[in-house]
Structure 1
Amino acid sequence: MGIHYDYKSTKSAKLMEKQAKRERKLAEKKAKRLAKEGPKKDDNKDKALDASKPITLDFLTNPNKE
């Protein structure tokens, strides 16, 4: 019967261990995936807006803007 009395006292510690193990596995998977992909390249950089030009409604709503 000792296991039943011990369950509640160790429940929180076991849950914390499970969560740490889960986070460690996710971190390992992420590191492995990043190593497999290689360094990221930022080829698709967004163009910055020109501060000297005013923002107009046409600029915001034009679907054919470049």
Structure 2
Amino acid sequence: MGIHYDYKSTKGNKLMEKQAKREKKLAEKKAKRLAKEGPKEEEAKPKTLDTSKPITLDFLTNPDKE
């Protein structure tokens, strides 16, 4: 009766320890990933077209457009 009695009485504690270990590991992975990526830059807003200018063929086909 020794092993089974001990298992049920300590089951809750072992599960909490296991969960804490899992969360710690995930936090370390997240910190490592963020450090590797560097500071997160704000996403650039998509440039909108100026409605006062007409759209020309040169504007559509120019590869060096700004």
Q: TM-score, normalised by structure 2?
A: 0.63
The structure whose Rg is larger is 2
Where do 5+ consecutive residues of structure 2 fail to align?
47-66
Q: Which runs of 5+ in 1 are unaligned?
A: 47-66
The question of 1:3 aligning with 2:3 is answered yes
Shift of 1:4: 1.0
* 4+ runs deviating over 6 angstroms: none
% of aligned pairs identical? 83
Q: TM-score when scaled to structure 1?
A: 0.63
How far off its partner does 1:45 sit?
4.4
Root-mean-square deviation over aligned CA pairs = 1.4
